[in-house]
A and B are shown apart, each in its own frame.
Chain A
Amino acid sequence: MSDAKRTSSGAPKAISGIDVMRGVGAQQAKGFWADAWERVLQRKGAVFGIAWISVVAFFAIFAPVLASAHPVYLERLDAAGAVTAAEWPLVANLTPTDWLLMIGFAVGVPWTFFGPKSLGRSGRLGVLVVALLQAGLTIVLAGSIAKWADSSSVEWLKQAARLSSGPWPIVGAVAAVVGLLALIVPTFDTRGPRIATVAGTALIAATLLLMSGGQKLINFERYIDDERAGKIRAVWTPVPWSPQYTRSDMSAIAPGTAVAENPKLAEFAGTNFGERRNWLGTDALGGDVLAQMMWACRLSISIGLVSTGISLLIGVTIGAIMGYFGGWIDLFLFRIVEIFMAVPVLFLLIVAAGVLPRDTYVMMAIIGCFSWTGAARFTRAEFLKLRKQDFVQAAQATGLPLRAILFRHMLPNGVTPVLVDASFAIAAAISVEATLSFLGLGPDGQASWGKLLSSATASTGTFVWWLAVFPGLAIFLSVLSYNLLGEALRDAIDPKLRKAAH
């Protein structure tokens, strides 16, 4: 112990063979992933990519509280100017998803850095991801099932969806089912903490859903009119516009213009509203571009992650089965892979997006379901190599179940090319989303960079530069970031390249 201290603090000192045998100067080897991560961070491009993705992720989480036409705090005044009531309209209008993302951020960041050391950082991240997925799935599923039940012709379903206390039977059932599914995922090794986290997450998701209530009628004009008439005093968000707040008298306003500078709205001069600016201009419908771009971060982040997640899930499973079994199973499954490779993926996506409902989740699903062949081929190639290796044969000889051989023993050794590919796949998914939105096949009622971009060129032949430049830059930087990250990951992981570099 004292020897080690001296070598590390003092001047370099020759050590003898005896010292080496005692373990002087020996360091614990870094893990494979820690090593790879360090190599990634050495690349400037990758650091830039991570920084940009973090910015986008930040806006994806906090857009509802940063850009909203609802005031944060509102005081109602009577004729004499005395405060009669106080409200928090912004908070009242947050959706369960908004709450979930913010709570997830608030809990997740400290958890990742200061959570139980026994799990290791990747273990803590794993728990966080599983919990977020569980809560997200509960909210999405329960929300859409409640909506479907509300309009279904089956009487008891309709009753359950229209209870005065909220559709709690539906929410509870969905939360329980998703919770049971999440229980299967191996996060903690012991049963106690695993059940506790799953139950806690289910409870939070269900509470959020029931508390936020139904759809509220939004009338942003009311705030503006009341404020002008002196009926209310309000504190606004930094970007006091919502993507849904469109005014026909504000279409295609140039960046940086104040509302009162617009001749149509000169009556607002001197009011709070008249001094507001559209920092990045407005689109043809009169919606603020900056607010839309901030809200669109959520779509950009989620479409990349979710669709790639789906394609990895399908691709790795099918690829693992193909590579491990080989023979007839391989031959048959490879025909299925070939079916998807026979036509360019973009073509299939355009057909699917054209005929299916225009919905965010549908779009994620089709991108995921049509682009899994890359992951399948990479996994297959790795597994074909791995299946003859000793550790796999040892696992077979021990009589482990197939699931354990495939996913516990082989997958960690063969997953690297798939992960590198995943980074490029996320970039491709963002690009595809922009393309589909541009072609008018994107999700309805959702702010999207691609949709903004498509409104830059109108059929009348006019070109609105701020609708092309700002969203275009955001799309470009996002795609570039994931590509840079993928390059860095590949260089860090690929042993062949590393050897060639030395």
Chain B
Amino acid sequence: MVNFLIRRLLFMVPTILGITFMVFMLLALAPGGIGAGLAAQGGQMSDTSRVAQMQAYLEDRYGLNDPVVVQYLRWLGRISPVKFGERDLRNPSGERVSAPREVKPPEMPWLFPPPDAPKVEFAPDTAESDAQVQEFRNLQRIAEGARRSYIGSVRLFKDTLADYVREEGAPWTDRLEPKGGAEPGKFRDLKLDPANAKFGALHQAADDMHRKWTAAEEARQRAFIAFRARPYPLSGFGVVPGVVYLDSPDLGVAFSKNRPVWDLIATALPVTLLINLIAFPISYLVAVPTGILAATRRGGWFDVLSGVMYLSLYSIPTVLAGVFAIGFLANKQYLGLFPVSGLHDSAASTYTFLPYWDEGGVWQMGWLVDLLWHVALPVLCLVYASFAVLSKQTRAAMLENFNADYVRTAKAKGVPRNDVVMRHVFRNSLLPLITMFVGIFPAMLAGSVVIERIFTIPGMGSLIIEAIDLRDREIILANTFMIACVNLLALLLADILYAIADPRVSYE
């Protein structure tokens, strides 16, 4: 069993790498690529505007300039529990604080030799911890600001270079990017010509870039020294100091909301879990008894009727059920029995937990009933499709066991019919239901994507759809990763439960 477990756990690693890589490539190969959402955020593209500089800064911040495979490897490095390099710190609110990133040297050093890298000597204030934290945060902010203006100046320099090249004319203009920008690496053999109208502007842009680089590098070194002084406690568990350490996976920061992905998931996941945890028992409580009844009266009217009804229910797509429920049951134009959207009434925070009759004898809906009333339709849409699958499985398993020898023996020795059904046949038919129990969970998670969208419930499904609309790579990847982990562990759990429940099954 232990061998089996280890083998299965090891096989999970390539599977998770595969699925995340596939989703990553899908996002990268799509028109517009991974950064498409950013471009949309920036509004109109204009070369030298602030928007373009902002774009350049965001691309740098999220590492969108590198080749796709490098970006994936970097993502993998963050998600991996084994990490390399300088250990992160963790601030009191639990956020990860990384060492300040390297600043790239200025462009075109062969034409515009950059100044020497500054050397900062600086002793941070370590006497008092509050002051130290304050100082570190200041330095961090300054470093980020200096880096931002440096990246903007690089962008400006490249645009000026493109203008310069356009003045030069053919054949140089052939080397420009399709969108009109200039990549300095392609102009190694460019000779500067003072007669060019943009000569002065190019020099000015280069000087500006050098000045800002010096400032950014200086600020980075300061921040790094302050980081080294550890204003916060270290995060994770060191293995080889400064080289390898263990830490929890870092899901990254969402582009679109500028918040850690983990925070977003932590607020959305309980909502989805709540709906699914209500839906789960209901689907079992309805489907299993009808499955048993159908099997005991095989071919009877109940068997035929439940079969037809469940197949019809199974054939209703979730969106269809959702639209009908919201249109006919919830909409004020028709029955208006249920709320149309959300999880709580807008005044729910003032409610008491349980319902009561107030002095005037008027029914006051408490927080709990309000919640149940809101989730009733989503839960209904979530459960009906699983009835068919579960009841069919129960019926098939029961029928298989009805033909078994031990049942015939039990009948022959005079065991009452109900005992035969419940004690002998049903208990032995439970095995496939155990597997279904674990397997149905990820499927429900997928189903709730659609349901949450229809009923505007702020759960995982809404988060995913929103992330896809905004092309937010970090949220999509983090969700893929989490769903894959849960799913694979659930499959493994099903196998283990199966082995525990059925002594005939062994994985040795």
Q: Does B458 contact A (CB under 8 A)?
A: no
Say whether A472 contacts B320, CB under 8 Å. Answer: yes
Say whether A431 contacts B317, CB under 8 Å. Answer: yes
Given the known A-B contacts A335-B14, A356-B30, are A500 and B476 also in contact in the complex, defined by CB atoms under 8 Å? no
Say whether B340 contacts A342, CB under 8 Å. Answer: no
Of the candidate stretches B94-102, B369-377, B440-448, the one touching chain A is: B440-448
Interface residues of B in 291-323 (CB under 8 A from A): 308, 311-312, 314-320, 323
Interface residues of A in 338-368 (CB under 8 A from B): 338-348, 350-352, 354-357
Interface residues of A in 459-502 (CB under 8 A from B): 461-463, 465, 468, 472, 475-476, 479-480, 483-484, 487, 500
Interface residues of B in 460-505 (CB under 8 A from A): 464-465, 468-469, 471, 476, 479-480, 483-484, 487-488
Given the known A-B contacts A336-B18, A356-B30, A487-B311, are A457 and B442 also in contact in the complex, defined by CB atoms under 8 Å? no
Q: Does B19 contact A (CB under 8 A)?
A: yes
Chain B min CB distance to A372 (Å): 14
Chain B min CB distance to A190 (Å): 45
Say whether B311 contacts A343, CB under 8 Å. Answer: no
Q: Does A434 contact B (CB under 8 A)?
A: yes
With a cutoff of 8 Å between Cβ atoms, the chain A residues found around residue B308 in the complex are 45
Q: Which of A351, A439, A463, A472 contacts B326 (CB 8 A)?
A: A463
Q: Chain B, 420-443, contact with A by CB distance < 8 Å: what is the 0/1 string?
A: 000000000000000000000011
Chain B min CB distance to A341 (Å): 8
Tally the A-B contacts, defined by beta carbons under 8 Å.
132
Chain B min CB distance to A265 (Å): 25
Q: Which of A344, A439, A457 contacts B443 (CB 8 A)?
A: A344
Say whether A463 contacts B334, CB under 8 Å. Answer: yes
Q: How far is the CA of A336 from the CA of B16 in the complex (A)?
A: 11
Count how many chain A residues have C-beta atoms less than 8 Å from C-beta atoms of the other chain: 46
Count how many chain B residues have C-beta atoms less than 8 Å from C-beta atoms of the other chain: 55
With a cutoff of 8 Å between Cβ atoms, the chain A residues found around residue B403 in the complex are 500
Q: How far is the CA of A434 from the CA of B316 in the complex (A)?
A: 11
Q: Chain B, 337-361, contact with A by CB distance < 8 Å: what is the 0/1 string?
A: 0001000000000000000000000
With a cutoff of 8 Å between Cβ atoms, the chain A residues found around residue B480 in the complex are 343, 347, 351
Say whether A476 contacts B23, CB under 8 Å. Answer: no
Q: Does B239 contact A (CB under 8 A)?
A: no
Helix, strand, loop or mixed for chain A's interface?
Answer: helix
Say whether B327 contacts A343, CB under 8 Å. Answer: no
Q: Does B450 contact A (CB under 8 A)?
A: yes
Which of B16, B319, B449 gathers the greatest number of chain A CB atoms within 10 Å? B319
With a cutoff of 8 Å between Cβ atoms, the chain A residues found around residue B317 in the complex are 431, 434-435, 475-476, 479
Say whether A342 contacts B333, CB under 8 Å. Answer: no
Q: Which of A345, A457, A483 contacts B311 (CB 8 A)?
A: A483
- Nearest residue in A to B30 (C-beta to C-beta)? A355
- Nearest residue in A to B445 (C-beta to C-beta)? A344
Q: Which of B318, B445, B468, B484 contacts A354 (CB 8 A)?
A: B468
Chain A min CB distance to B14 (Å): 6
Which of A340, A343, A355, A500 gathers the greatest number of chain B CB atoms within 10 Å? A343
Say whether A461 contacts B340, CB under 8 Å. Answer: yes
Q: How far is the CA of A435 from the CA of B316 in the complex (A)?
A: 11
Say whether A346 contacts B18, CB under 8 Å. Answer: no
Say whether A343 contacts B19, CB under 8 Å. Answer: yes
Chain B min CB distance to A413 (Å): 25
- Nearest residue in A to B299 (C-beta to C-beta)? A501
Chain A min CB distance to B68 (Å): 14
With a cutoff of 8 Å between Cβ atoms, the chain A residues found around residue B484 in the complex are 342-343
Say whether B327 contacts A457, CB under 8 Å. Answer: yes
Q: Does B15 contact A (CB under 8 A)?
A: yes
Known: A347-B464, A487-B311. 19 other contacts (CB 8 A): A335-B14, A341-B487, A342-B487, A343-B483, A343-B484, A343-B487, A344-B487, A351-B27, A352-B26, A355-B30, A435-B318, A439-B465, A454-B323, A465-B327, A465-B328, A472-B324, A476-B317, A483-B311, A483-B314
Interface on A for B, CB 8 Å cutoff? 45, 335-336, 338-348, 350-352, 354-357, 427, 431, 434-435, 438-439, 450, 453-454, 456-457, 461-463, 465, 468, 472, 475-476, 479-480, 483-484, 487, 500
Can you pick out 6 interface pairs between chain A and chain B where the beta carbons lie within 8 Å of each other? A344-B487, A347-B483, A351-B23, A351-B468, A463-B333, A500-B399
